[in-house]
Amino acid sequence: MIKLFKVKEKQRELAENANGKSPIKKQSAGELRLHKDISELNLHKTCTMAFPNGKDDLMKFEVTIRPDEGYYRGGTFVFSFQISSIYPHEAPKVKCKTKVVKHVLFSILNKILLPLT
C-alpha cells in the first residue's frame, strides 16, 4: 500500500510537468497530520526542537535533550528526525547524532560489570 502512494504521487508529478505547469507544492496528508501533532506537542523544559531547513519544512527537524538528573545529567543528546510524506503510515526515521559512551565497570575481581540501564 505504501508503494501505491509513492507510485500515484510520481504519476501526478509527471502529469503536471507534461502540461507545462510549474509544480505547485500541495501539503500532503502526512504534512497536515505532522503540523497538527507538532502544534499539540508539549516539550519538557530539558528538550528543544529546531528546524534546520526553516519552519516551512516540517518533515526534517532535530530534538535536543539535556537531562537535568540521572546518569546522563549534563549531557547533550541531539536526534534528527526524517518523516516521509505518508506519515503516520510509515514510521519516522530517527538518528542519534551524539555518540553515547557506555561506561564499563570493573569489580574488585577484575570482572566486567555492565550497567543494567
**Which CATH number fits the domain that encloses residue 34?**
3.10.110.10
Residue located via cell numbers 526534517? 60
Count of domains for the chain: 1
Q: Which residue has the higher pLDDT, 57 or 17?
A: 57
Those residues whose C-beta lies under 8 Å from the C-beta of residue 87, and which sit 6 or more positions away, are 30, 31, 33, 34, 59
Give residue 70's domain range.
2-113
Beta-bridge mates of residue 82? 60, 93
Q: What is the pLDDT of residues 11-35, one digit of tens each?
A: 777 776 666 655 566 778 888 888 8
Q: What is the pLDDT of residues 63-80, one digit of tens each?
A: 999 999 987 888 899 999
- Record the pTM: 0.63
By percentage, how much of the chain surpasses pLDDT 90? 27
